[in-house]
Chain A
Amino acid sequence: MAKVTFKQPDGTETTVEAAAGVTVMEAAKINLMSGIEAECGGACACATCHVYIDANWVEKTGKPNEMEEDMLDFAFDVRETSRLSCQIKISDELDGLVVEVPEKQF
Chain B
Amino acid sequence: MSQFTEYKDLIQEGDIALIWISRGNIKAVTIDSKETFNTRYGSFQHSDMIGKPYGSQIAIRTRGTGRFAFIHVLQPTPELWTLSLPHRTQIVYTPDSSYIMQRMNCSPHTRVIEAGTGSGSFSHAFARTVQQLYTYEFHPVRYEQAKEEFKKHGILDENVIITHRDVCEDGFTIKPTDTTSAQFSEEEITSGMKQLNATAVFLDLPAPWDAIHHLDKVIATDEQVHVCCFSPCIEQVDKTIESLENNGWTQIEMVEIQGRQYESRRQMVRSMEDAMQRCRDIKRRKKEGIEKKQSLIEREENNNTTSTNTEHTQREPFTEKAKFNPFGKGIRVKEGDPGYKWKQVTKIESEIKSHTSYLTFAIKLVDKTRNETLVQECLNETK
Q: Do A and B bind each other?
A: no
Interface residues of B (CB under 8 A from A): none
Interface residues of A (CB under 8 A from B): none
